[in-house]
């Protein structure tokens, strides 16, 4: 039912396996909370709900530790001296947000203890413990010490104040500004709970294409109300700062970052915000990008702009997340090179409380992009990853695409910036070059749809983003496994095929949209469906033809030495690999090279045939996904079953649309027949 959909991965299904259920019952005779904060109360309620739903009976809640087989939870300072001693060395292994879950002998009695340095860390431990149960893992002798590897794990909502959501495909914004601050929608609480359960600790409430009004007292009062709801869940609120706000709402004549009045205006604004939101996170800024105002309007640069804002929030512990998503129509030779060209020289020039936010690839959230060359190339500057959870270029919320596969591919990418092993994950978590600030942002796919994300399986992308932000080394398969068990069923006959379906879904979308390194050939503006023929837009780098460059001789964007030399932005070893046709991974071929239609692929096929067969393979994979889903009826409630069935039917129809449109269009250039195995258009 819709109610099920709404509960996300926190279904707490009754445990079907009798042996597991009885193990849980015998180990969970009572619950003891050692704390009394709002956050401890959330932990307690969550444990009571989770355990009673999964086991069918409520464990006794005790006010003191007595008897054995209790689940005891509380922060370090609330532990008795025996427990303090037991966990002494474990505490040295974790940061402020880490937790410990352990089976211990306390006065010779067996107990399970969840602890951490503060109540929010304990809450993370509670969710981790409940996840063990949701996935039917043994709790007989637990020994888990875990801590997040990044410190800012944040959603970016591209939500406008009129509740429209830029690139949002799941309804309108959750934030009901009109009813705030006095009306607290239950959904705000449920949102915070879902985020806390996967370790997300920040949220940027507003669109990067920002509206200065959010910084007026009328709106800040509403923001304060949301911050108050989120605080006990360990979630900090951040806002986007429109660079021209001092003019628009401050009555100043300029927003020049070097103007003292402007700098003071921001200082006062920060003071005003922190007065009502003492733990306000800071600002996310899109400046001088796609028409947004910024320091360059005044002949200043990104460093001037970021540092001025950084100085305003620094006294209160705030941070500035300054985006590197910039490209200009005045240098349309290769858009992929522009962010690096502009930002790399700024390395080491930003204040300590600035983190530069870089999209995973150099163009824009494509089904597949090689990693952004800035990663690893600014060793003296903390960089945070920006992933897009909402599927702007991947079929909106109609196509089933499991994004952790994409995220993992990026995080595992080898930058070679400090030799082999310099992966993006190590750049992001500060292990390649140590930084105080580390982080991962995800552009949210959440809206006020009953099921939050439009597509029931898009919930897995929100979930997976959170899990990877916590641990960027986690395998997508583990994430899919956890999510399926927590969301649908622990039955292996369901898990195995549906997990395979999720894990192939990302390659399927690449195949039927942009195989072999093709990119940005979606129809223009909305980016839904194919549009490789579009070539009439005012800015050259908005036209799909700019990206595929198909002609009689071949197809692809030559970014090698013989072309725009974008490959030179990578570390020498990576550059060599991408530059050379022999070593360039075929999945990125047409991203880096323009090759003839007769170019021989590793399979021995010509490029034209290989490309056509990839389009067909994508279609076949979606057909297979439909087939897999059709066998799951008995494991899934009828509403979600039906929804996914209808959505997969659309996806299949549209995979064929992509195949047919792209092949028909490119065929005018290749002048070749379709190879055997490619179905004729329908
Ligand atoms: O992906 C593109 C989108 C814009 C977006 C921009 C950005 C918020 O098409 O809608 O604007 O990137 O990331 O700033």
> In this predicted structure, what is the pLDDT of residue 329?
73
Residue nearest to atom 1 of ligand 1 (CA): 364
Residue nearest to atom 13 of ligand 1 (CA): 325
CATH topology of domain 8-146: Chitobiase; domain 2 (3.30.379)
CA–centroid distance, 123 to ligand 1, in Å, is 34
Six-digit token pair at 144? 């888990």
* pLDDT at residue 476 tops 60: yes
Q: Choosing from 159, 334, 342, 364, which is the catalytic residue?
A: 364
Q: What is the DSSP string of 153-203?
A: EEEE--B-TTS-BTT--SSS-S--TTTTTT---HHHHHHHHHHHHTT--EE
CB of 393 shorter than 6 A to ligand 1: no
383-409 pLDDT, tens digit each: 999 999 999 999 999 999 999 999 999
Extract the runs of DSSP E, i.e. beta strands, from 196-326.
Answer: 202-204, 236-240, 282-285, 319-323
pLDDT band for position 2 (50/70/90)? low
What does the DSSP 8-state code read for residue 570?
A: S
Task: Report whether 386 contacts 360 (CB < 8 A).
Answer: yes
> In this predicted structure, what is the pLDDT of residue 1?
55
CB of 209 shorter than 6 A to ligand 1: yes
What is the average pLDDT value for the chain, to the nearest integer? 97
pLDDT band for position 682 (50/70/90)? low
CB of 396 shorter than 6 A to ligand 1: no
> In this predicted structure, what is the pLDDT of residue 680?
84
Per cent of the chain over pLDDT 70 is: 100
| Beta-bridge partners for 573 | none
Helices (H) and strands (E) in the chain, counts: 21, 16
CB of 97 shorter than 6 A to ligand 1: no
Question: ipTM above 0.85?
Answer: yes
Residue nearest to atom 11 of ligand 1 (CA): 209
CB of 166 shorter than 6 A to ligand 1: yes
CB of 325 shorter than 6 A to ligand 1: yes
| Cα separation, 173 vs 449, whole angstroms | 9
374-384 pLDDT, tens digit each: 999 999 999 99
CB of 594 shorter than 6 A to ligand 1: no
Q: Choosing from 97, 392, 588, 617, which is the catalytic residue?
A: 392
Q: Is 290 a catalytic residue?
A: yes
214-223 pLDDT, tens digit each: 999 999 999 9
Give me the mean pLDDT over the 8-12 stretch: 98
Q: Which residues contact 262 (CB under 8 A, 6 or more apart)?
A: 246, 252, 254, 255, 256, 308
The domain ranges of the chain are 8-146, 152-484, 511-557+594-670
Q: Choosing from 162, 221, 272, 290, which is the catalytic residue?
A: 290
| Cα separation, 130 vs 9, whole angstroms | 11
SS3 485: helix
> In this predicted structure, what is the pLDDT of residue 539?
87
**Which candidate, 608, 619, 668, 641, places its Cα nearest to that of 507?**
619
303-359 pLDDT, tens digit each: 999 999 999 999 999 999 999 999 877 777 899 999 999 999 999 999 999 999 999
The two beta strands, 554-555 and 60-62, are unpaired
SS3 244: coil
Q: Which CATH superfamily is domain 152-484 in?
A: Glycosidases (3.20.20.80)
pLDDT band for position 540 (50/70/90)? confident
CA–centroid distance, 13 to ligand 1, in Å, is 38
CB of 193 shorter than 6 A to ligand 1: no
CA–centroid distance, 167 to ligand 1, in Å, is 8
CB of 542 shorter than 6 A to ligand 1: no
Residue nearest to atom 12 of ligand 1 (CA): 364
Extract the runs of DSSP E, i.e. beta strands, from 12-128.
Answer: 30-33, 60-62, 70-75, 99-106, 109-116
> In this predicted structure, what is the pLDDT of residue 427?
98
Give me the mean pLDDT over the 297-304 stretch: 98
**Which candidate, 105, 124, 117, 126, places its Cα nearest to that of 31?**
126
> In this predicted structure, what is the pLDDT of residue 592?
98
SS3 263: helix
CA–centroid distance, 372 to ligand 1, in Å, is 16
- Cα dihedral across residues 137, 140, 141, 143: positive or negative: positive
- Long-range CB contact pairs, 295-301, < 8 A, 24+: 295/243, 295/256, 295/257, 297/243, 297/244, 297/255, 298/254, 298/255, 298/256, 298/257, 298/258, 298/259, 300/256, 300/257, 300/258, 301/346
Q: Which residues contact 183 (CB under 8 A, 6 or more apart)?
A: 176
- Length of the chain as a residue count: 682
CA–centroid distance, 4 to ligand 1, in Å, is 32
Question: If you compute the radius of gyration of the chain from its CA atoms, what whole number of angstroms results?
Answer: 26
CA distances, 296 to each of 267, 299, 302, 322, 486 (Å):
21, 5, 7, 14, 48
What does the DSSP 8-state code read for residue 96?
A: T
CA–centroid distance, 280 to ligand 1, in Å, is 25
> In this predicted structure, what is the pLDDT of residue 541?
86
Q: Is 162 a catalytic residue?
A: no
- Long-range CB contact pairs, 24-28, < 8 A, 24+: 24/51, 24/54, 24/55, 24/133, 24/139, 25/55, 25/57, 26/69, 27/69, 27/71, 27/112, 27/139, 27/140, 28/55, 28/59, 28/69, 28/70, 28/71, 28/112, 28/139
618-672 pLDDT, tens digit each: 999 999 999 999 999 999 999 999 999 999 999 999 999 999 999 999 999 999 9
* pLDDT at residue 597 tops 90: yes
**Which CATH number is 511-557+594-670 given?**
3.90.1330.10
* pLDDT at residue 5 tops 90: yes
> In this predicted structure, what is the pLDDT of residue 116?
98
CB of 167 shorter than 6 A to ligand 1: yes
* pLDDT at residue 516 tops 60: yes
Give me the mean pLDDT over the 15-25 stretch: 97
Q: Say which range, 249-253, 333-337, 528-532, has the weakest mean pLDDT.
A: 333-337
CA–centroid distance, 559 to ligand 1, in Å, is 23
CA–centroid distance, 242 to ligand 1, in Å, is 15
Which of 285, 326, 392, 544 is the best mutation target for the ligand 1 pocket, counting ligand atoms within 8 Å of the beta carbon and taking the most?
Answer: 392
């Amino acid at each position: 039912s819709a109610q099920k959909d709404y509960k996300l991965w926190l279904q707490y299904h009754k445990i079907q396996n009798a042996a597991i259920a009885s193990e849980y019952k015998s180990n969970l005779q009572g619950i003891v909370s050692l704390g009394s904060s709002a956050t401890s109360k959330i932990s307690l309620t969550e444990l009571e709900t989770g355990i009673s739903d999964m086991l069918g009976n409520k464990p006794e809640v005790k006010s003191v530790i007595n008897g054995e087989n209790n689940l005891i939870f509380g922060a370090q300072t609330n532990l008795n001296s025996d427990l303090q001693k037991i966990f002494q060395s474990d505490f040295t292994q974790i940061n402020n947000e880490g937790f410990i879950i352990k089976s211990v002998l306390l006065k010779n009695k067996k107990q399970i203890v969840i602890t951490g340095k503060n109540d929010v860390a304990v809450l993370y431990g509670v969710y981790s413990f409940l996840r063990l149960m949701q996935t039917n893992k043994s709790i007989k002798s637990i020994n888990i010490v875990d801590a997040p590897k990044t410190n800012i794990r944040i959603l970016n909502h591209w939500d406008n104040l009129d509740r429209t959501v830029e690139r949002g495909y799941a309804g309108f914004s959750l934030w009901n500004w009109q009813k705030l601050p006095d009306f607290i929608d239950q959904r705000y609480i449920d949102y915070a709970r879902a985020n806390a359960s996967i370790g997300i600790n920040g949220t940027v409430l507003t669109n990067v294409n920002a509206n200065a009004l959010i910084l007026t007292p009328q709106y800040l009062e509403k923001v304060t109300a949301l911050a108050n709801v989120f605080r006990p869940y360990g979630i900090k609120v951040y806002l986007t700062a429109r660079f021209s706000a001092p003019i628009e709402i401050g009555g100043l004549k300029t927003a020049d970052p070097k103007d003292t009045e402007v700098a003071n205006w921001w200082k006062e604004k920060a003071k005003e915000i922190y007065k009502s939101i003492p733990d306000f996170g800071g600002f996310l800024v899109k400046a001088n990008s796609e028409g947004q105002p910024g320091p360059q309007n005044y002949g200043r640069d990104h460093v001037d702009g970021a540092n001025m804002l950084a100085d305003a929030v620094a006294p209160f512990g705030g941070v500035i997340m300054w985006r590197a998503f910039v490209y200009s129509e005045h240098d349309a030779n290769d858009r992929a090179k522009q962010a690096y060209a502009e930002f790399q020289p700024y390395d080491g020039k930003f204040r300590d409380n600035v983190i530069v936010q870089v999209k995973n690839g150099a163009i824009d959230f494509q089904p597949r992009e090689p990693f952004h060359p800035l990663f690893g190339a600014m060793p003296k500057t903390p960089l945070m990853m920006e992933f897009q959870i909402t599927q702007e270029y991947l079929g909106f919320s109609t196509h089933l695409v499991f994004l952790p596969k994409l995220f993992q591919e990026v995080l595992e990418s080898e930058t070679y910036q400090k030799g082999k092993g310099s992966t993006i994950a190590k750049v992001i978590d500060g292990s390649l070059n140590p930084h105080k600030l580390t982080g991962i942002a995800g552009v949210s796919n959440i809206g006020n749809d009953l099921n939050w994300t439009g597509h029931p399986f898009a919930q897995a992308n929100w979930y997976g983003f959170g899990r990877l932000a916590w641990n960027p080394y986690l395998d997508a398969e583990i994430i899919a496994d956890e999510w399926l068990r927590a969301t649908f069923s622990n039955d292996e006959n369901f898990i195995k095929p549906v997990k395979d379906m999720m894990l192939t879904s990302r390659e399927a979308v690449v195949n039927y949209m942009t195989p072999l390194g093709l990119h940005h050939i979606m129809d223009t503006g909305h980016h839904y469906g194919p549009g490789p023929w579009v070539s009439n837009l005012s800015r050259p780098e908005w036209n799909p033809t700019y990206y595929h460059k198909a002609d009689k001789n071949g197809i692809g964007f030559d970014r090698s030495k013989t072309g725009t030399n974008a490959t030179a932005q990578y570390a020498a070893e990576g550059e060599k690999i991408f530059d050379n046709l022999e070593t360039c991974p075929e999945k990125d071929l047409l991203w880096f090279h323009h090759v003839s239609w007769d170019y021989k692929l590793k399979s021995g096929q010509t490029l034209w045939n290989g490309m056509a067969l990839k389009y067909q393979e994508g279609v076949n994979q979606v057909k297979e996904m439909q087939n897999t889903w059709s066998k799951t009826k008995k494991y899934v409630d009828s509403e979600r079953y039906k929804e996914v069935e209808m959505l997969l039917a659309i996806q299949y129809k549209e995979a064929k649309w992509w195949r047919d449109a792209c092949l028909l269009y490119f065929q005018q250039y290749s002048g070749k027949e379709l190879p055997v195995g490619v179905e004729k258009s329908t």
